[in-house]
Amino acid sequence: MISKKTQYGLKALSFMAQREQQGPILIADISTERNIPIKFLEAILLDLKKAGLLDSKKGKGGGYYFAVPPSAIKVATVIRLLDGPIALLPCASLNFYKKCEDCDEITCGLNHIMKEVRDASLGILENRTISDISFS
């Protein structure tokens, strides 16, 4: 399950993508339009800026804008940045792998199933971008 932080991040990015041609977007506008608490949104957008996906401009006409085209930002990338692993078990993770203390991965049926789940999820999340997300 993705966190509220990631849900808000994806909602904010999709809103920005829909208005990308309008230039930088104020945090207050994103907050109001997507019903995201402004303090929480500030932290999320700062994380995305630190990761190089967004940039910001101060002053009149300022706000946040994409440093990378939304069509190049994979949903999986945002989830990993804001939530961490996509896999449901650490022993099934590609980027955040950690061996389980109490099992043998070679004979563990749960590990095999969770790798299938991970691969199926990644098959979608790695092939969808921020541009693919739409909210009414």
> In the prediction, which pLDDT does 94 show?
83
Measured distance CA(70)–CA(80) in Å, rounded: 16
Supply the pTM of this predicted model: 0.88
Measured distance CA(67)–CA(56) in Å, rounded: 9
Measured distance CA(51)–CA(44) in Å, rounded: 11
> What CATH number has the domain spanning 4-66?
1.10.10.10
Measured distance CA(131)–CA(125) in Å, rounded: 13
Helix (H, G, I), strand (E, B) or coil at 65: strand
Residue extents of the structural domains in the chain = 4-66
Instruction: List pLDDT tens digits, range 105-134.
Output: 778 888 889 899 999 999 999 999 999 998
Tokens of 80: 């990993």
Left, alpha or beta for 98 (phi > 0: left; psi -120 to 50: alpha)? beta
Instruction: List pLDDT tens digits, range 32-60.
Output: 999 999 999 999 999 999 999 999 999 88
pLDDT category at 136 given cuts 50, 70, 90 is low
